[in-house]
């Protein structure tokens, strides 16, 4: 049965074996994989230019004959090498034009990020290989990790147009690998990444617990590291808090330089508001800036969002932003944010999934300890993340308010003592936010 590009290729090799020696097959076809196949055309990927030329000039006719034998029809065969794949990839990347604007010069440096900034800059200046490889940047969402990663990419690309710079989000890496495996292109996948001059992965934390992806990352990491290629990873938490990540990867990720980004202090927030409003051609009074900086404390993406809303409001009214207008704008922004709150149902669903139970088990009667534990965590999260009262939470679980309060207390009490629990809470929350 032939039902995948890989099967086709196996059958072709089978036929070629009648004519060629095993040594010849191993030598010339060992890196070969089918890139795509349609009614009348087969595209083969052979990463090495040398081998591709040989196969094309010496074996193309044999491959076409084999295909004719298999399908009783004419096939055209074409070949691509790594360079074409890379080119297609880079085109793909630059489509996201906005990321071009992330630079070191428009990154506001303060106490909370100066270490990460300096480390990223050293890497972009190509001075980081001895001590900052890999560079692992971690911190909560909205604090500038992606910005720094793109700043590295943009600077290196400018200085070395010839570098093959891979920048990929952890989630895309996982999806791409799954597709590559399904379509029999995992070899090409590996080659593409192993030939990077610079390897940048945003939000690497998502690979934790995905065995096959971890395996590939491990090999790619080792190959690049041994070849002294620069690697930079970002994550929402340090390697040791990636509970599902195997030890060997944790230690690889921690083997260079760990740089965290924390919440910006007041001065930094003021500087960011100033910079962002300047960029938009908006003038804000000190009073208004002070108000925003005191209201939004934990997330630079939100600071930026607030400034953009002020700009929109000021354009709309064709007037300066007064304190009372600023207050209204932010109040509206927070109200809208509340409407994005996860629903209690989603929290129950996500918590159940995390512990491998069903939502029914979580809201049901079972007193088995792992279920009770998960149920308490779900109640705790609902209390934290929604506006529901104790009795309302109780209804969802068919329990009374005192049980709910007891459960929430239990979890709250354990969190400071149990790193594992606090990471679990963080994980479930992150899963909820990524929905």
The yes or no reply on residue 147 touching ligand ADP (CB under 6 A) is yes
Q: How far apart are CA 411 and CA 422, in angstroms?
A: 9
The yes or no reply on residue 141 touching ligand ADP (CB under 6 A) is yes
CA 376 to chain centre: 30
List, in order, residues 6 or more apart from 257 with CB less than 8 Å away.
119, 128, 131, 132, 133, 134, 135, 136
The yes or no reply on residue 169 touching ligand ADP (CB under 6 A) is no
The yes or no reply on residue 210 touching ligand ADP (CB under 6 A) is no
The yes or no reply on residue 48 touching ligand ADP (CB under 6 A) is no
Q: Residue 97 or 281: which CB sits closer to Mg ion?
A: 97
**257 touches which of Mg ion, ligand ADP, none (CB within 5 to 8 A by kind)?**
none
Q: How far, CA to CA in Å, does 182 sit from each of 32, 41, 176, 177, 207?
A: 16, 20, 10, 9, 18
Beta bridge partners of 137: 234, 259
Chain residues that interact with Mg ion, rule: CB under 5 A: 145-146
Q: Residue 303 or 347: which CB sits closer to ligand ADP?
A: 303
The yes or no reply on residue 205 touching ligand ADP (CB under 6 A) is no
CB of 304 to ligand ADP, least distance (A): 5
Which residue's C-beta sits nearest to ligand ADP?
144
Structure token pair of residue 2: 């032939």
**272 touches which of ligand ADP, Mg ion, none (CB within 5 to 8 A by kind)?**
ligand ADP
Per CB under 6 A, which region of 66-74, 145-153, 204-212, 222-230 contacts ligand ADP?
Answer: 145-153
Q: How far apart are CA 137 and CA 107, in angstroms?
A: 15
Task: Tell me how far apart the terminal alpha carbons of the chain are, to the nearest angstrom.
Answer: 39
- In degrees and rounded to multiples of 5, residue 27 shows phi and psi of -65, -45
**107 touches which of Mg ion, ligand ADP, none (CB within 5 to 8 A by kind)?**
ligand ADP
The yes or no reply on residue 113 touching ligand ADP (CB under 6 A) is yes
Q: Residue 24 or 263: which CB sits closer to ligand ADP?
A: 263
CB of 139 to ligand ADP, least distance (A): 6
Structure token pair of residue 368: 């088995």
The yes or no reply on residue 192 touching ligand ADP (CB under 6 A) is no
CB of 142 to Mg ion, least distance (A): 8
Q: How far apart are CA 313 and CA 320, in angstroms?
A: 9
Spatial strand order in the sheet of 165-169: 165-169, 198-202, 230-235, 135-138, 257-260
CA 183 to chain centre: 22
**304 touches which of Mg ion, ligand ADP, none (CB within 5 to 8 A by kind)?**
ligand ADP
CB of 239 to ligand ADP, least distance (A): 17
Q: Residue 261 or 377: which CB sits closer to Mg ion?
A: 261
145, 153, 252, 269: which one binds ligand ADP (CB under 6 A): 145
CB of 251 to Mg ion, least distance (A): 24
- The residue whose two tokens read 């971690």 is 138
The yes or no reply on residue 260 touching ligand ADP (CB under 6 A) is no
Q: How far, CA to CA in Å, does 148 sit from each of 98, 119, 138, 415?
A: 14, 10, 11, 32
* Burial class, 141, CB count within 10 angstroms (exposed 0-12 / middle 13-18 / buried 19+): middle
55, 66, 108, 347: which one binds ligand ADP (CB under 6 A): 108
The yes or no reply on residue 302 touching ligand ADP (CB under 6 A) is no
Q: Residue 44 or 151: which CB sits closer to ligand ADP?
A: 151
DSSP 59: I
The yes or no reply on residue 154 touching ligand ADP (CB under 6 A) is no
Helix, strand, coil % in the chain, rounded to nearest 5: 60, 10, 30
What is the footprint of ligand ADP within residues 268-297 (CB under 6 A)?
A: 272
Q: Residue 296 or 408: which CB sits closer to ligand ADP?
A: 296
Residues that bind ligand ADP (CB under 6 A): 107-108, 113, 139, 141-147, 272, 300-301, 304
């Amino acid at each position: 049965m032939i039902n995948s590009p890989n099967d086709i290729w196996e059958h072709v090799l089978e036929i070629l074996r009648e004519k060629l020696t095993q040594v010849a097959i191993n030598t010339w076809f060992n890196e070969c994989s089918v890139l795509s196949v349609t009614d009348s055309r087969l595209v083969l990927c052979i990463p090495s230019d040398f081998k591709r030329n040989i196969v094309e000039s010496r074996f193309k006719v044999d491959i076409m004959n084999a295909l004719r034998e298999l399908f009783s029809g004419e096939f055209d065969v074409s070949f691509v090498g790594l360079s074409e794949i890379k080119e297609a990839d880079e085109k793909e990347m630059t489509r996201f034009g906005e990321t071009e604007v992330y630079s070191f010069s428009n990154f506001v440096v303060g106490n909370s990020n100066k270490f990460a900034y300096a480390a990223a800059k050293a890497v972009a200046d190509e001075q980081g290989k001895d001590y900052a490889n890999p560079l692992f940047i971690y911190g909560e969402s909205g604090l500038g990790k992606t910005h720094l990663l793109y700043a590295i990419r943009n600077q290196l690309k400018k200085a070395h147009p010839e570098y093959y710079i891979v920048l990929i989000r952890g989630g895309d890496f996982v999806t791409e690998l799954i597709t590559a495996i399904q379509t029999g292109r995992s070899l090409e996948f590996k080659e593409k990444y192993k030939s990077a001059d610079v390897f940048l992965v945003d939000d690497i934390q998502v690979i934790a617990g995905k065995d096959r992806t971890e395996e590939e990352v491990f090999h790619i990491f080792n190959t690049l590291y041994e070849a002294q290629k620069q690697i930079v990873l970002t994550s929402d938490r340090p390697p040791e808090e990636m509970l599902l990540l195997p030890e060997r990867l944790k230690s690889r990720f921690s083997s260079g330089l760990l740089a965290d980004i924390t919440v910006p202090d007041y001065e930094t927030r003021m500087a960011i508001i100033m910079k962002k409003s300047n960029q938009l051609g908006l003038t804000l009074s000190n009073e208004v800036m002070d108000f925003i900086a005191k209201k939004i404390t934990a997330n630079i993406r939100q600071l930026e969002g607030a400034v953009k809303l002020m700009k929109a409001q000021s354009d709309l009214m064709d007037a300066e932003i007064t304190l009372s207008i600023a207050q209204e704008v932010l109040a509206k922004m927070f109200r809208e944010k509340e409407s994005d709150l996860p629903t209690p149902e989603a929290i129950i669903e996500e918590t159940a999934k995390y512990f491998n139970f069903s939502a029914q088990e979580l809201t049901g009667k079972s007193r088995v300890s792992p279920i009770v534990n998960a149920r308490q965590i779900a109640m705790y999260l609902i209390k934290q993340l929604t506006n529901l009262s104790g009795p309302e939470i109780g209804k969802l679980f068919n329990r009374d308010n005192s049980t709910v309060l007891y459960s929430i207390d239990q979890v709250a009490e354990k969190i400071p003592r149990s790193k594992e629990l606090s990471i679990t809470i963080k994980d479930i929350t992150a899963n909820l936010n990524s929905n």
